Amino acid sequence: MALKRFNILIAGVGGQGLLTLGELIGNAAIESGVDVTVAEVHGLSQRGGSVVVHVRLGPGSSPVIPKGAADLIIGLEAIETARYIDYASRESLVVMDSFIWPPPLSKHPSLKQIVGELSGRVKLFVIDASRIAREELKAAVAANVVLLGYSLALSKEFRNYVDLEAAVKAVRRVFRGKAVEVNEKALIRGYSEGGSLGVK
Amino acid sequence: MLERGSVALLLGNEAIARAAIEAGVGFAAAYPGTPSTEVVESLAEVAKEIGMHVEWSTNEKVSFEAAYAASIAGVRALVAMKHVGLNVASDILMSSAYTGVNSGLLVVSADDPSQHSSQNEQDNRWYGLLSHLPVVEPWCPRNAYRLTKVSYEISEKYRLPVILRTTTRLSHTRQPIVYEADVPREVRTRGSFKKDVERYVLVPAHSRKLKEALMKKWEEIREDLGVEPFISIENPGLRRAIVASGISYAHVDEALNLMNMRNDFTVVRVSMPVPLPVKPMKELLSYAKSILVVEELDPVVELQLSKIVVEESASVELYGKDYVPANYELSLEIVYKSIKAFLGEEPSAPWSGVEPVKLEPQVPPRPPTLCPGCPHRNTFYVAKVAANKAGVRDLIYTGDIGCYTLGYLPPFRVQDTSLEMGGSIGVAHGLSLVVEDTVIAVIGDSTFYHAGLPPSINVVYNGGRALILVLDNLCTAMTGHQPHPGTGLTATGEKAERMFIEDFLKSMGFKTYVIDPMNVGESIGEFVKAYREHLSGKHVAVVSRMKCALEVLRAARARGIALPKYAITDACTGCMACVNLLGCPAIVVEEGSRKPRILEEACAGCGLCAYVCPYDAIVVSREGGAGWRELWH
Ligand SMILES: Cc1ncc(C[n+]2csc(CCOP(=O)(O)OP(=O)(O)O)c2C)c(N)n1
């Protein structure tokens, strides 16, 4: 049987750059000669709705990840990460931005509550990607790419499909002009943050 | 544009567009609609380079007629629409089958199983059976690329329009695609119309004959097209078989691999569900004793196959919707369980997700909301305050389809119905003739051009009492900000004659008020006048004009103009008026805080919250740059 598919679920809020992150991983796959499907699951075009992107690396064409089959969840926002956590199994790696953006007029759990709940269920890694992007890189929108670098550093299995070099090439394919530089920095910054944890 | 041999990560819709270009399409028309929009949007981007005509038509019927005309005049054409768009275009769809076409005509119908962004879940493969036109259904974006080209070939071979049915999942999934051909150096964009009244004038004497000819083609297609790439059979000769149509094949493929049962089934991949080719099915029935049909939504293949079973007196157990759900989109997980059930096993899946989180407060739903700065928020606020001031108590808001449909939610609740495009005005008219309440039709600008004109005329003609409110945000926002006749721009960015909604309404006999809801106080005053005039018995309409905030943000970024930012000062008493009256995502109340805060990065600077604050506690924290106000108009 062919190589198993590596499943990445990206969760967040519309406007956070989820679709771009999906495109990046997809292009990194092309750079690595790996087949891929990237399914964008969003409702209407307004900002602020819940969005998920299913990236499946490896041969096959069925685009949506079954619940429990995500190898990696990249959460761009805490509430959305909690919402889709049943896509993870106990072995899954979950990489989450510490950013929390509650829906208007809502009662919601706190970041601390969410981190507590999730860490009992999955291998959870939390990073201040939004803060790093805003303060260090002066580009709030680049949090998604910081998370990508961080995830690559933390998951050897992910790197079996696409490595940092392929991701850098993908940044150059997807972005134009000044954005290339900022996002390359974001990628490396996230990668070194993950590398510094010494996880394999 | 990229040349032959390049690899690109394309959405299903983009793959269709690229293939159409390679096939030499010279004319494309559409009215936007999720999930079909990107097909014609990506053609519009390269139209000038290729020299083809691409347009956003005012509605699907018009777009179909335009593409049909190009095709009978010898120009390869494409028309794309969401599933419900084909309802609007169904009249010309039926007639186009009778006359047939000359150059290839591809009708892309994008269905929306699970209703991710639609008002219903119809299966448009039925339209093939209704119109006697072939339906081609790809199973992945790469296959859509290939089948688009093949569809042009069969369209020209049988001289019929071909319906290419995609679904949201297929349209919105990306896959690496290797370009098989270059962009043709010359594209045929001019043709000629050869008169033939017996073919093009559908009076009964002509169309009876044409119907007979159409049915002959239909039978030919059923007989001839049971071949690759429309049908393919893997592992023929087994007792157990799975017949999978469209994207269902991708799920079946992976499920059988995971079960290690690839060689235990004959698998029939169907890419032409309508009309279901007969020969391969007869062949299948000669050996298969137990068949599962896997298809999304309705049993279109299953019903056709069961007829062949009867005709062949085949002794076979045929299953389909017994095990495969008829509602919602299918997935690997669902199909895996369906196959298990078909095998008589426990319908369980091999994956187990961790427990969903159980927290108090719970994880709140995050339905789409009006964006920060959305002009609809201003208009809804104005309309409600004005109704109060004018003493209008019993109000029914008939709604329509667009971003503003979200107005059904608190805090506004200004959409009591929302059915289909243009429905707001027709329904308001009927209600206004039978109920005592004041009835106000709330409709978007693009929707007004699409289907709002005939019912508006009808209100005046037949003495209806409906008040019409048109929300003019200067684009078709919900589907991604396409231009329309009120913007003065075409799909390809050319200048167009700009038409104003108020001019139409005035010419029909509506006393029409035009407001700028960014000027909240003034607009309330005007709207009160409008209500009073309405109560006095006149036909009244209000056009509320303020640009979509996302367009304003984009323009501000592009031109380097700063928009103002607002902040909440210590004068705030925590009364929560701004939070409760407006539901703006940029205003948040953080844990443990009794007062709201404005998220600076989310604030679009519309200033509505500053207007509603009873304590003047919301102030400009950063002035807008020169020219910021003009961006909103
Ligand atoms: C027949 C039909 N065609 C297309 C659509 C897709 N669609 C939903 S809303 C909408 C237009 C909304 O534009 P507008 O009326 O300007 O309102 P806005 O979203 O800008 O507020 C479209 C095209 C549909 N639902 N039905």
pLDDT tens readout for residues A20-35: 999 999 999 999 999 9
Q: Residue B598 is which amino acid?
A: I
Task: Please state the rounded mean pLDDT for residues B381-391.
Answer: 98
Q: How far is CA B203 from CA A119, B97, B199, in A?
A: 72, 15, 10
Task: Please state the rounded mean pLDDT for residues B92-102.
Answer: 98
Task: Please state the rounded mean pLDDT for residues B506-518.
Answer: 98
Q: For residue B58, which phi and psi values (nearest 5 degrees)?
A: -75, -30
Q: What is the 3-state secondary structure (H, E, C) of B581-609?
A: HHCCCCEECCCCCCCCEECCCCCCCCCHH
Task: Please state the rounded mean pLDDT for residues B327-337.
Answer: 98
Helix (H, G, I), strand (E, B) or coil at B263: helix
pLDDT tens per residue across span B210-258:
999 999 999 999 999 999 999 999 999 999 999 999 999 999 999 999 9
- Please identify among residues 60-89 of chain A the ones whose CB lies closer than 8 Å to any CB of chain B: 60-64, 66-69, 79-80, 82-83, 85-89
Dihedral in degrees, nearest 10, Cα atoms B417, B421, B427, B429: 130
pLDDT tens per residue across span B282-330:
999 999 999 999 999 999 999 999 999 999 999 999 999 999 999 999 9
Beta carbons within 10 angstroms of residue B394's beta carbon: 10
CB of A59 within 8 Å of a chain B CB? The answer is no
Q: How far is CA B270 from CA A90, A147, B82, B223, B294, in A?
A: 38, 41, 22, 15, 10
- Per DSSP, B629 falls in state G
Helix (H, G, I), strand (E, B) or coil at A47: coil
Residues from chain B that touch A122, judged by Cβ atoms under 8 A, are: 354
CB contact under 8 A, B251 and A62: yes
CB of A139 within 8 Å of a chain B CB? The answer is no
Task: Please state the rounded mean pLDDT for residues B440-466.
Answer: 98
- Please identify among residues 102-121 of chain A the ones whose CB lies closer than 8 Å to any CB of chain B: 102-110, 113-114, 117-118, 121
Q: Report residue B593 as tokens.
A: 């805080």
Q: How far apart are CA B512 and CA B249, in angstroms?
A: 54
Q: What is the 3-state secondary structure (H, E, C) of B515-566?
A: ECCCCHHHHHHHHHHHHHHHHCCCCEEEEEECCCHHHHHHHHHHHCCCCCEE
User: Which residue, judged by its Cα, is nearest atom 3 of ligand 1?
Assistant: B85
Q: CATH number of the domain at A176, please.
A: 3.40.920.10
Q: Report residue B488 as tokens.
A: 């003065």
Domains: count for chain A: 1
Q: How many CA atoms lie within 13 A of B9 on its CB side?
A: 27
Asked casually if ipTM beats, i.e. exceeds, 0.85, the reply is yes
Residue B626 above 60 pLDDT? yes
Residues from chain B that touch A138, judged by Cβ atoms under 8 A, are: none
CATH architecture of residue range(s) B375-546: 3-Layer(aba) Sandwich (3.40)
Q: Are strands B27-30 and B53-56 parallel, antiparallel or unpaired?
A: parallel
**Cβ-count burial of B575 within 10 angstroms (0-12 exposed, 13-18 middle, 19+ buried)?**
middle
Ranges assigned E (strand) in B313-436: 317-319, 395-398
- Asked if residue B133 lies in contact with residue B6, where contact means CB atoms within 8 angstroms, the answer is no
Q: Where are the domains of chain B?
A: 7-187+196-224, 231-342, 375-546, 562-631
Compute, in angstroms, the gap from residue B34 CA to the centroid of ligand 1.
9
Residue B187 above 80 pLDDT? yes
A45 or B222: whose pLDDT is higher? Answer: B222
- Per DSSP, A167 falls in state H
For domain B7-187+196-224, the CATH superfamily is Thiamin diphosphate (ThDP)-binding fold, Pyr/PP domains (3.40.50.970)
CB of A178 within 8 Å of a chain B CB? The answer is no
- Asked if residue B573 lies in contact with residue B615, where contact means CB atoms within 8 angstroms, the answer is yes
Task: Please state the rounded mean pLDDT for residues A172-182.
Answer: 96
pLDDT confidence of residue B165: 98
Which pLDDT band holds residue A15 (cuts at 50, 70, 90)?
Answer: confident
Compute, in angstroms, the gap from residue B57 CA to the centroid of ligand 1.
13
pLDDT confidence of residue A2: 45
Q: How far is CA B256 from CA B165, B253, B338, B339, in A?
A: 25, 6, 11, 9
pLDDT confidence of residue B601: 85
- Asked if residue A85 lies in contact with residue A21, where contact means CB atoms within 8 angstroms, the answer is no
Chain A nearest-CA distance from B265, in A, is: 17
Helices (H), A110-155: 111-119, 129-131, 143-154
- Nearest CB neighbour to B139, from listed A26, A61, A110: A61
Do B231-342 and B7-187+196-224 fall under one CATH topology?
yes
- Asked if residue B281 lies in contact with residue B291, where contact means CB atoms within 8 angstroms, the answer is no
- Domain assignment present for residue A193? The answer is yes
Residue B480 above 60 pLDDT? yes
Task: Please state the rounded mean pLDDT for residues B458-476.
Answer: 98
Which pLDDT band holds residue B173 (cuts at 50, 70, 90)?
Answer: very high
- Asked if residue A86 lies in contact with residue B358, where contact means CB atoms within 8 angstroms, the answer is no
What does the mean pLDDT of chain B come to?
Answer: 97
Name beta bridge partners: B106.
Answer: B78, B162
- Asked if residue B588 lies in contact with residue B500, where contact means CB atoms within 8 angstroms, the answer is no
Residue B633 above 80 pLDDT? yes
Mutate to test the pocket of ligand 1, among B414, B446, B474, B552 (most ligand atoms within 8 A of CB): B446
Q: For residue A81, which phi and psi values (nearest 5 degrees)?
A: -65, -45
**CB environment A98-125: b (16+ within 10 A), e (fewer):** bbbbbbbbeebbbbebbbebbeebbbbb
Compute, in angstroms, the gap from residue B404 CA to the centroid of ligand 1.
10
Range scoring the smallest mean pLDDT among A98-102, B62-66, B330-334: A98-102
Mutate to test the pocket of ligand 1, among B447, B475, B487, B546 (most ligand atoms within 8 A of CB): B447
Q: Which residue has the tokens 């243009």?
A: B422
The topology under which CATH files domain B562-631 is: Alpha-Beta Plaits (3.30.70)
Q: How far apart are CA B41 and CA B12, in angstroms?
A: 13
Q: Report residue B35 as tokens.
A: 């999930």
Q: For residue A8, which phi and psi values (nearest 5 degrees)?
A: -120, 120
Residue A1 above 50 pLDDT? no
Q: How many CA atoms lie within 13 A of B308 on its CB side?
A: 20
Q: Best of A46, A56, A92 to disrupt the B interface by mutation (most B CBs within 10 Å)?
A: A46
Q: Report residue A95 as tokens.
A: 């990489």
DSSP states along B126-184? HHHHHHT--EE--SSHHHHHHHHHHHHHHHHHHTS-EEEEEEHHHHTEEEEEE--SPPP
pLDDT confidence of residue B225: 97
Q: How far is CA B452 from CA A162, B423, B467, in A?
A: 51, 8, 13
Q: Does domain B231-342 have CATH number 3.40.50.920?
A: yes
Angle made by CA atoms B489, B494, B497, in degrees to the nearest 5: 50
Q: Report residue A40 as tokens.
A: 């964008």
Q: How far apart are CA B110 and CA B298, in angstroms?
A: 15
Task: Please state the rounded mean pLDDT for residues B519-524.
Answer: 98
Nearby residues of B345 by Cβ (< 8 Å), 6 or more positions away: none
- Per DSSP, B482 falls in state B
- Domain assignment present for residue A86? The answer is yes
DSSP states along B266-289? EEEEES--BSPPHHHHHHHHHH-S
Q: Are strands B173-178 and B511-515 parallel, antiparallel or unpaired?
A: unpaired
pLDDT tens per residue across span A135-164:
999 999 999 999 999 999 999 999 999 999
Q: Which residue has the tokens 């929302």?
A: B418
Q: For residue B233, which phi and psi values (nearest 5 degrees)?
A: -120, 125
Q: How far apart are CA B47 and CA B530, in angstroms?
A: 44
pLDDT tens per residue across span A49-62:
889 999 999 999 99
Task: Please state the rounded mean pLDDT for residues B420-426.
Answer: 98
Chain B nearest-CA distance from A164, in A, is: 19
Residue A200 above 60 pLDDT? no
Ranges assigned E (strand) in B395-522: 395-398, 438-444, 467-472, 511-515
Q: How far apart are CA A61 and CA A54, in angstroms?
A: 12
Q: How far apart are CA A91 and CA A71, in angstroms?
A: 7
pTM of the model: 0.97
Compute, in angstroms, the gap from residue B458 CA to the centroid of ligand 1.
22
Q: For residue B11, which phi and psi values (nearest 5 degrees)?
A: -65, 155
CA B481 to chain centre: 13
pLDDT confidence of residue B402: 96
- Asked if residue B57 lies in contact with residue B66, where contact means CB atoms within 8 angstroms, the answer is yes
Q: How far apart are CA B518 and CA B474, in angstroms?
A: 14
Mutate to test the pocket of ligand 1, among B84, B371, B476 (most ligand atoms within 8 A of CB): B476
pLDDT tens per residue across span B484-504:
999 999 999 999 999 999 999
Name beta bridge partners: B290.
Answer: B240, B317
Q: How many CA atoms lie within 13 A of B97 on its CB side?
A: 25
Dihedral in degrees, nearest 10, Cα atoms B609, B611, B612, B615: 100
H/E run at residue B292? strand B290-294
Q: Report residue B166 as tokens.
A: 């995609």
Size of interface A-B (CB pairs under 8 A): 194
Residue of B nearest to A109 (CA): B361
Q: Which residue has the tokens 């329509």?
A: B400
Q: How far is CA B121 from CA A59, B32, B101, B114, B197, in A?
A: 30, 18, 29, 7, 38
DSSP states along B195-217? P-HHHH---HHHHHHHHHHHHHH
- Domain assignment present for residue A1? The answer is no
Compute, in angstroms, the gap from residue B401 CA to the centroid of ligand 1.
5
Helix (H, G, I), strand (E, B) or coil at B106: strand
